[in-house]
Amino acid sequence: MSVVLVTGASRGIGRAIVERFAREGATVIACARGQAGLDALHADLPQVECHACDLRDAVAVDALARDVLARHGQVDLLVNNAGAFRPGAIGEEDDDALLDMLQANLFGAYRLTKRLLPAMIARRSGMVLNVCSTASIAAYPNGGSYSIAKHALYGFSRNLREEMKPHGVRVVALLPGATLTASWDGVPLPPERLMPAEDVAEMAWSAWSLSARSVVEDIVMRPQLGDIGEGDFQ
C-alpha cells in the first residue's frame, strides 16, 4: 500500500487529492496549518492521518518529517501543495511580500522534500509532485511576488528532476490555472468558468499511476475557455 503525504490538504486542490488517493486505498497523510480544516477532513475520511503543521516553520517541518518516517518508514509520494496567494504589483507591494510568498510557496516544500528524499533514494523509487501554477510559466498583471515564488517552485521542480533521474525518483510539476477553490471566493465569476479541483486531483492520480519507467514531467491545465482575463469581468 502506497504512503502519500499531501500538504495544504484541508481544502481545495489538496483536499481533492487526498480524497482521490484515499479512494484508491492509499495510506494518506494530510498536513495543513489549520486544525479545524483537518478535523473536518478527518470526520469525512477517518482513515486519513492528519497533522497540523505550518510549512513556514522549519522546526515544525522537521518534526513532521521525523514523525511520518517513524510511523511509516517511508513516503512513496510527496505532494507539495501548501501555498498562499497574495496579489500585488511588484512596484507597489510592501518590502516583505517576496519573503512572505517564498516562505509560503517554496521554502516549506524545499525543506520537507529534502527530509524525505534520502529514503526514496535509498530504495530507488518514489515521486515528488509539486503543485505549481500557470503563474509559474506566465507573467500576468498583479502577479507580483506570488508569481515570482511560483516560478521558483517550478525551477525547483525542474532542477530536482534532473538530480533524481539516476536515483529512480520521479518529479512532476502540476501547473493548474484557475481552479474553483476558496481563493476565488467573492470573485464575480460563474463556477463554470473555473476548473473543478477534482480534475486537478485526477491528473495527480494519473501521473502517479504510470509505471516507474515513465514520468509526466509537466502537467499544464487551464479552464477550457482559457486563463481568466479582464474580459471575464465585463
| pLDDT value, residue 188 | 82
Cell output for 67:
514523525
pLDDT (tens digit per residue) in 35-58: 999 999 999 999 999 999 999 999
Model pLDDT, residue 158: 98
- Spot the catalytic one: 110, 140, 146, 154: 146
Q: What is the pLDDT of residue 77?
A: 98
The pairing of strands 218-221 and 170-176 is: parallel
**Residues 7 and 109 sit within 8 Å (Cβ to Cβ):** yes
Range 194-217 burial, b when 16+ CB lie within 10 A, else e:
bbebeebbebbeebbeeeeeebee
Element (H, E) at 111: helix 108-123
Cα gap 104→85, rounded to integer Å: 9
User: Is 146 a residue of the active site?
Assistant: yes
Q: What is the pTM of this model?
A: 0.95
Judged against a pLDDT cut of 80, whether residue 234 lies above it is answered with no
Please report where in the chains the cell 519507467 appears, as a residue: 213
- Which range, 93-97, 202-206, 229-233, is most confident? 202-206
pLDDT digit string, tens, across residues 151-181: 999 999 999 999 999 999 999 999 999 998 8
Q: What is the pLDDT of residue 34?
A: 92
For residues 114 and 70, is the Cβ–Cβ distance under 8 A? no
Mean pLDDT of 204-223: 97
Q: Give the pLDDT band (50/70/90) at residue 230.
A: low
Q: Sheet containing 127-131: give its strands across.
A: 49-52, 27-32, 3-7, 77-80, 127-131, 170-176, 218-221
Query: Which set of grid coordinates corresponds to residue 1?
Result: 500500500
Across the chain, what does the average pLDDT equal? 95
* Domains of the chain with CATH codes: 3-228 (3.40.50.720)
**Tally of CB atoms within 10 A around 35:** 11
If one counts every other C-beta atom within 10 angstroms of the C-beta of residue 222, the result is 15
Instruction: With CA atoms as reference, report the closest residue to 127 among 13, 214, 219, 20.
Output: 214
Q: Of all helices (H) and strands (E), which one includes residue 175?
A: strand 170-176
CA distances from 22 to 9, 88, 153, 226 (A): 12, 37, 26, 31
Smallest Cα–Cα separation from 129: which of 190, 177, 80? 80
